[in-house]
């Protein structure tokens, strides 16, 4: 027995004692391969999964390093069976490799029995061509992505070393006058480029766009950038014009409003997934140029049709950018196989300690429903209960108090339900931004907020992602998308840009106690708890 912060259990769970003096050291050691499951006050539960181990393997960690981390930080002897299982699981990665034999795409193995196994698999056999020798089989080039998906499903992840087409050359350089890449941004670019394709995970406000721009400068090719919405597309364009050698004529927008195809083209997920007569007609954009790099902004939000088309783009370099690789639909494995493994992941608190994002005070404010509200909630259908609890009129007065407490500070009030937001905007005499707000009006209001012309905005979930509001220092969340962990992370991210005077950001979540609203809030907070953010809980009467 040692004085470690971890208890490693044979069911592949890791218990981390939060108050232990070496807890942070242990958290960093296991972050590369373990996934957080639960994060109450004193003991956090992580789980070791095959996907986590394969991500670690792809990032250059071997079984010896993983095992050493567990032994070093474990309070008790690590179960021997678990250590064997970790070594065996990590050893599965790379026994199959996708490579090039001249111009032919091939699957080769270091273990002939594994190749024999996959050749007999009914979903994999049709993706393969003729056998070249005992260790090698041809692969239909169009099936490169589908093959990686299917191999991952049966536990034999293929290491893709087949390389990438160069794509159409296009000169791009960073214009670093007055600024430079931060050390972690340089590490992220290097990690991505060395791996060829994959995902970079950085906190909101930590400059993911600059990682994308630097990767483009490294690639020196035409680039397709996929983003969540038109406002995000225009922010990407503004940032590229400011930070690189690109000019207006070199950057095109492909959205509902414009259909421009240029050496650097920024397209929205929405337009690409719009169907006409049963077909995704805009996916032709992917063949419009010989792209050398494809950037997926907010990769955790990729819709299913984009996954399907990405399966056909395996010969292109692919960079995924996100603040959290958590997907509520459980498709992390598709991100791994089709975009690429996680190439760089910086803990939020590490970036905060370096002064690049603001410290945050997270507070859950609990309100008690009135007797009539409680009765209406009790007899409501299960599908209606979350809306009833989220939209309690009691929340309105609490939001007014919080806004008054932070008068003059740039404040966002964020919610899910439009009627609730409409009422709040009226009571607060604030501008409201929803999906119905035109792009031009959104940009006008966001710019007014950035310049300090207005200090309060009420926003729907359209402001969850890819909206650059560096001045925001207070966020008040009144309702959310059920138990979405990634939404919670994104909303906190709205206020994490560093403040010039070193101020702390404030993130409030207003929750109706004794309801599913409180249950979902607890689930949403899990990812942030993993990053070291603790929520204080206060009663609304104590504000």
| 3-class SS letters over 191-246 | HHHHHCCEEEECCCCCCHHHHHHHHHHHHCECEEEEECCHHHHHHHHHHHHHHECC
Q: Look at residue 168 and tell me if it is in a domain.
A: no
Q: Sheet harboring 431-433: ordered strands across?
A: 431-433, 456-459, 411-414, 474-477, 505-512, 360-367, 535-539
Q: How many domains does the chain have?
A: 4
Indicate if 248 and 271 belong to the same structural domain.
Answer: yes
Residue 79 sits in the same domain as residue 111: no
Last-in-domain residue among 44, 63, 92: 92
Contact 319, 212 (CB under 8 A): yes
Which pLDDT value is given to residue 53? Answer: 96
**Domain, as residue range, for 536:** 358-542
- Pairwise CA distance, residues 436 & 454, whole Å: 20
- pLDDT given at position 470: 61
Q: What is the mean pLDDT of residues 341-348?
A: 85
Beta pairing class for 505-512 and 474-477: parallel
User: Has residue 175 been placed in a domain?
Assistant: no
pLDDT tens-digit series, residues 417-439: 999 999 999 999 999 999 888 88
CA neighbor of 175 nearest in space, from 223, 210, 227: 210
**Same structural domain for residues 211 and 283?**
yes
Q: What is the DSSP letter of 94?
A: T
Q: Are residues 414 and 520 in the same domain?
A: yes
Residue at 120 is within a domain: yes
Q: How far is CA 185 from the centre of its chain?
A: 16
Whether 71 and 143 map to the same domain: the answer is: no
174 found inside a domain: no
Chosen domain end from 291, 323, 352:
352
How far apart, in Å, do the first and last CA atoms of the chain sit? Answer: 46
Q: Which residue has the tokens 């490169």?
A: 144
Token couple for 502: 């070193």
Q: Is the pLDDT of residue 466 over 60?
A: no
CA–CA dist 452, 449 (Å, integer): 5
Q: Where are the beta strands (DSSP E) in 297-397?
A: 317-322, 342-345, 360-367
| 451 lies in the same domain as 512 | yes
One domain, residues 107 and 233? no
CATH of the domain at 102: 3.30.70
Question: Are residue 251 and residue 331 in the same domain, yes or no?
Answer: yes
Q: Which residue blocks in 417-542 are alpha helix, DSSP H?
A: 418-428, 439-451, 485-493, 516-524, 526-530
- What would the two tokens of residue 14 be? 């890791």
pTM of the predicted structure, to 2 decimals: 0.83
pLDDT score of 465:
59
Q: Is residue 226, in this structure, part of any structural domain at all?
A: yes
Residues 222-239 have pLDDT tens digits of 999 999 888 889 989 999
| CA atoms of 4 and 241, how far apart (whole Å) | 50
Contact of 36 with 45, CB cutoff 8 Å: yes
Instruction: Report how far residue 22's alpha carbon sits from residue 9's, in angstroms, rounded to the nearest whole number.
Output: 19
Return d(Cα 508, Cα 401) in angstroms, integer: 12
**How far, in Å, CA of 312 to CA of 290, rounded?**
14
pLDDT of residue 473 exceeding 70, the answer is yes
User: Which DSSP letter does residue 336 get?
Assistant: I
Tell me which residue has tokens 């214009």: 175
Structure tokens, 401: 């108090």
Cα–Cα distance for residue pair 184/325, rounded to 1 Å: 18
Q: Residue 131 in contact with residue 255, Cβ under 8 Å?
A: no
Q: Using the 8-state DSSP alphabet, how is residue 258 labeled?
A: -
> Do the domain assignments include residue 170?
no
378, 316: one domain: no
336-352: average pLDDT: 86
Count CB neighbours of 382 within 10 A.
Answer: 7
CB 56 within 8 A of CB 33: yes
| Residue in this structure with the two tokens 């950018």, named with its chain if needed | 321
* pLDDT tier, 529 (very low <50, low <70, confident <90, very high otherwise): confident
Using one digit for the tens of pLDDT, what is the confidence trace for 270-322? 888 887 777 777 777 777 789 999 999 988 888 888 888 888 889 899 999 98
**Block residue for tokens 């009663």:** 539
Whichever domain contains 415, its CATH number is 3.40.50.300
Answer yes or no: do 363 and 468 share one domain: yes
* Mean pLDDT of the chain, nearest integer: 89
pLDDT in tens, 356-377: 888 888 899 999 999 999 999 9
Indicate if the pLDDT at residue 530 is higher than 70. Answer: no
User: Is the residue at 217 inside a domain?
Assistant: yes
Confidence of residue 4 (pLDDT cuts 50, 70, 90): very high
Q: Is the pLDDT of residue 481 over 90?
A: no
* pLDDT at 297 (0 to 100): 93
Instruction: Please check whether residues 375 and 406 belong to one and the same domain.
Output: yes
Q: Six-digit token pair at 446?
A: 């966001």
Whether 166 is in a domain gets the answer: no
State which of 145, 160, 175 marks the end of a domain: 160
Comparing C-alpha atoms, which of 459, 484, 492, 496 is closest to residue 364? 492
Residues 13 and 57 in one domain: yes
């Amino acid at each position: 027995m040692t004085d470690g912060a971890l208890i490693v259990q044979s069911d592949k769970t890791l218990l981390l004692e939060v108050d232990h003096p070496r807890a942070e050291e242990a958290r960093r050691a296991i972050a590369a391969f373990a996934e957080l499951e639960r994060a109450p006050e004193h003991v956090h539960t992580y789980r070791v999964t095959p996907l986590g181990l394969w991500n670690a393997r792809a990032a250059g960690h071997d079984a010896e390093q993983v095992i050493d981390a567990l032994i070093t930080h474990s309070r008790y002897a690590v179960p021997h069976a678990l250590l064997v299982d970790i070594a065996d699981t990590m050893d599965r990665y790379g026994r199959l490799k996708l490579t090039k034999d001249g111009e032919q795409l091939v699957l080769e193995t270091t273990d002939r029995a594994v190749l024999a196994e996959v050749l007999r698999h009914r979903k994999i056999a049709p993706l393969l061509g003729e056998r070249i020798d005992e260790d090698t089989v041809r692969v239909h080039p169009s099936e490169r992505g589908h093959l990686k998906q299917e191999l991952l499903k049966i536990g034999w992840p293929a290491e893709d070393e087949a390389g990438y087409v160069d794509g159409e050359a296009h000169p791009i350089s960073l214009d670093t006058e007055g600024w430079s890449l931060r050390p972690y941004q340089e590490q992220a670019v290097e990690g991505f480029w060395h791996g060829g394709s994959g995902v970079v995970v950085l906190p909101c406000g930590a400059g993911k766009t600059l990682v994308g721009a630097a990767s483009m400068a490294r690639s020196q090719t035409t680039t397709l950038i996929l983003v969540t919405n038109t406002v995000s597309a225009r922010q990407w364009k503004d940032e590229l014009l400011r930070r690189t050698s690109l000019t207006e004529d070199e950057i095109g927008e492909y959205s509902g409003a414009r259909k421009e195809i240029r050496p650097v083209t920024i397209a929205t997920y929405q337009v690409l997934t719009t169907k006409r007569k049963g077909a995704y007609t805009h996916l032709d954009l992917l063949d419009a140029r010989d792209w050398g790099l494809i950037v997926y902004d907010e990769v955790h939000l990729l819709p299913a049709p984009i996954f399907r088309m990405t399966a056909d783009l395996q010969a292109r370099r692919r960079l995924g950018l996100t603040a959290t690789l958590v997907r509520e639909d459980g498709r992390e494995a598709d991100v791994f196989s089709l975009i690429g493994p996680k190439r760089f992941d910086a803990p939020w608190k590490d970036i905060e300690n370096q002064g690049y994002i603001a410290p945050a005070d997270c507070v859950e404010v609990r309100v008690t429903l009135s007797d009539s509200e409680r009765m209406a909630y009790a007899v409501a259908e299960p599908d209606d209960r979350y809306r009833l609890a989220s939209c309690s009129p009691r929340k309105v007065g609490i939001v007014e108090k919080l806004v008054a407490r932070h008068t003059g500070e740039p404040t966002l009030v964020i919610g899910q339900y439009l009627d609730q937001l409409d009422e709040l905007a009226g009571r607060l005499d604030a501008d409201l931004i929803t999906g119905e707000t035109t792009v031009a009006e959104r940009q006008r209001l966001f710019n007014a907020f950035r310049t300090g012309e207005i200090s309060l905005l009420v926003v729907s979930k359209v402001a969850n992602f890819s909206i650059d509001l560096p001045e925001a220092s207070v966020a008040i969340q009144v309702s959310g998308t059920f138990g979405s962990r990634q939404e919670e992370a994104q909303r906190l991210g709205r206020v994490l840009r560093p403040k010039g005077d070193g101020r702390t950001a404030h993130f409030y979540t207003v929750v109706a106690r004794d309801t599913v609203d409180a249950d979902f809030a607890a689930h949403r907070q899990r990812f942030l708890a993993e990053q070291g953010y603790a929520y204080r809980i206060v009663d609304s009467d104590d504000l």
